[in-house]
Amino acid sequence: MHEKTIAQLSASLATGEFSSEELTRALLERVERFNPSLNAFITVTAESALAQARAADERRRQGAAGLLTGIPIAHKDIFCTDGVRTSCGSRILDRFIAPYNATVVERLNAAGAVMLGKTNMDEFAMGSSNETSFYGPVRNPWDLDAVPGGSSGGSAAAVAARLTPGATGTDTGGSIRQPAALCGITGIKPTYGRVSRWGMIAYASSLDQGGPMARTAEDCALLLGAMAGFDLRDSTSVDRPAPDYAALLDQPLTGLKIGLPKEYFGEGLDSAVARVVEDAIAEYRKLGAETVEISLPNSHLAIPAYYVVAPAECSSNLARFDGVRYGHRCENPKDLLDLYTRSRGEGFGAEVQRRILVGTFALSAGYYDAYYLKAQQIRRLISDDFRQAFAQVDVIMGPTSPTVAFNLGEKVDDPITMYLSDIYTIAVNLAGLPGLSLPVGFVGQRPVGLQVIGDYFTEDRLLNVAHRYQQVTDWHQRAPTAFA
């Protein structure tokens, strides 16, 4: 059963080939068997999963099943889950049991999905390799010496290893797309405002966006269909109905105009990755698309601007973790200041502390104009680059990441090299645009992802563009040998 996609599982559940309870048991057994080597899950919710599965089977008997009824999934541990530990990969929330469900969790529950557990992630979603997690690194199922990418590395590894057919992720600067690329799966970061952020622990509020990760674009369409939509409880949620993504997957690509930004194919891009990406683009030409070279001239400013905006917003968002209301509290504080400083010092890891310091500095009196305001101005220039590009082309394509998965430990001591993993993904968040990554080949054993960027609210188009490619290629069907 584990080899089937969500769409295939949904069909099997509908014909009664197996029940959701049988499917859930089979996947829980795989989690038990493989998680010790992958470390993809922080928490496994076996009992409540089986209860949800039985309820889904019952709903089906009553004739009230939808496409996701009884489908097992996993949630990144950044989404609040009622009665279940929600750690955000941090020691400071190690014992935090959320008292409510995030909207995304609520919506997937309502669609009948079964939660297998919570997946590992970089601490507070800060990272590109899953190595900043308090719970230890996740390993890449394609090569256990390699990182899975981050910050949604647990979700990506769990999907790639066939422990779950789908999972949720969040993407502030690339955290859905980059791990999807490094693990050979499909993931989409929707337009900012498309998916509710309510109950999703905030990292950088003006950039964060939740989205689905699965093996195929079709499965992402099914999950996104359930996740997307207006939410009164998120003031940045956009009141605009979500289309039926699954129904729009088959549109032909004849005449599709693909922009290839020259800045995404230059220095810094691994040449073997470039060849795989160029082959994928050639396949799109065979499908009837046209390609044109475009320029996104401010691309080189994306990482510096992001590393002002994201730390600034995180320093404000993370101020709430103070050892008073919830989360880790130090032993025997001698006064209030000691309580704050020791609780936070013990609770947050090194990368999170680095970003809080950078962000606090950038926002401090006298520096605001020089850093935060300047970064916001650059953000506008980056959005304008995309606006001009989308006046010419329908979608933009390029590599998701400049290299394939790197080895565990390879970049931990060098934050700048680590930050460069997101060189092609970060601008998309700064502009609030949707972006998707799909598997298009390998360098050696390690997968390569193609990034497809669209104009605002064109998730349907991105999924369609990925789906048509997956109809004529089989990269998305390849499984890492040890987990086939």
Sign of CA dihedral 214, 215, 217, 221: negative
Cβ atoms within 10 Å of 394's Cβ, excluding its own: 18
311 near ligand GLN, judged by CB under 6 A: no
**Can you read off the two tokens belonging to residue 243?**
């289309």
SS3 state at 168: strand
By CB under 6 A, residue 71 contacts ligand GLN: no
The size of the interface with ligand GLN (CB under 6 A), counted in residues, is 13
Binding span for ligand GLN by CB under 6 A among 109-117, 126-134, 225-233, 272-280: 126-134
Taking the complex as a whole, how short is the minimal distance between the CB of residue 128 and ligand GLN, in angstroms?
4
Nearer to ligand GLN, 31 or 302 (CB): 302
C-alpha pair distances (Å), 145 with each of 155, 175, 446: 18, 20, 11
**Shortest spacing between CB 126 and ligand GLN, in angstroms:** 5
Of the residues 106, 143, 171, 263, which one makes contact with ligand GLN according to CB under 6 A: 171
Buried b (16+ CB within 10 A) or exposed e, 345-372: eebbbebbeebbebbbebbeeeeeeebb
* Contacts with ligand GLN, 185-224, as mask; x by CB under 6 A: ------------------x---------------------
74: nearest Cα among 36, 101, 114: 114
DSSP label at residue 393: -
Element (DSSP H or E) covering residue 274? helix 271-286
Does residue 127 interact with ligand GLN by CB under 6 A? yes
Nearer to ligand GLN, 125 or 436 (CB): 125
Binding marks (x or -) toward ligand GLN, 409..428, rule CB under 6 A? -------------x------
* Adjacency order of strands within the sheet including 186-189: 41-44, 114-119, 72-76, 166-171, 209-214, 186-189, 435-443, 446-454, 395-399, 257-261, 290-294
- Taking the C-alpha atoms of residue 343 and residue 331, their distance in angstroms, rounded to an integer, is 8
Among 166, 173, 398, 449, binds ligand GLN (CB under 6 A): 173
263 binds ligand GLN (CB under 6 A): no
Parallel/antiparallel/unpaired status of strands 186-189 and 209-214? antiparallel
* Closer Cβ to ligand GLN, 73 or 428, answer by number: 428
Which of 89, 166, 174, 439 binds ligand GLN (CB under 6 A)? It is 174
Coil, helix or strand at residue 363? helix
Q: What minimum distance in Å lies between the beta carbon of 203 and ligand GLN? A: 6
Indicate which residue of 10, 87, 128, 151 is catalytic.
151
Per CB under 6 A, the segment of 3-11, 40-48, 172-180, 400-408 that binds ligand GLN is 172-180
As measured in angstroms, the least distance from the Cβ of 282 to ligand GLN is: 30
- Report the residue from 296, 310, 358, 465 that binds ligand GLN according to the rule CB under 6 A: 310
Q: Establish if 259 lies at the interface with ligand GLN (CB under 6 A).
A: no
| 401 part of the active site | no
Collapsing DSSP states into helix, strand and coil, what is residue 73? strand
Residue 76 annotated among the catalytic residues of the structure: yes
Based on the shown chain and the rule CB under 6 A, indicate whether residue 151 belongs to the binding site for ligand GLN.
Answer: yes
Contact 86, 96 (CB under 8 A): yes
Which is closer to ligand GLN, CB of 126 or CB of 296? 126
| 3 state DSSP class of 372 | helix
Single out the segment in contact with ligand GLN by CB under 6 A; choices: 122-130, 140-148, 361-369, 380-388.
122-130
Which amino acid is present at 2? Answer: H
343 assigned to active site: no
State whether residue 459 is helix, strand or coil.
helix
Q: Is the dihedral of CA 367, 370, 375, 380 positive or negative?
A: positive
Contact range with ligand GLN by CB under 6 A, out of 170-178, 331-339, 369-377, 406-414: 170-178
* Residue number with CB closer to ligand GLN (151 or 464): 151
Q: Report the C-alpha gap between 51 and 355 in whole angstroms.
A: 41
**13, 108, 125, 408: which one binds ligand GLN (CB under 6 A):** 125
Residue 112 as a binder of ligand GLN (CB under 6 A): the answer is no
- Active-site residue identified among 10, 19, 20, 76: 76
- Listed as own residue / partner, the contacts of 9-16 with beta carbons closer than 8 Å and 24 or more positions apart are 9/71, 9/165, 10/67, 10/68, 10/71, 10/222, 13/60, 13/65, 13/69, 13/70, 13/71, 14/60, 14/65
126 contacts ligand GLN (rule: CB under 6 A): yes
The residues annotated with a catalytic role in the active site are: 76, 151, 175
* Residues in touch with ligand GLN (CB under 6 A): 125-128, 151, 171-175, 203, 310, 422
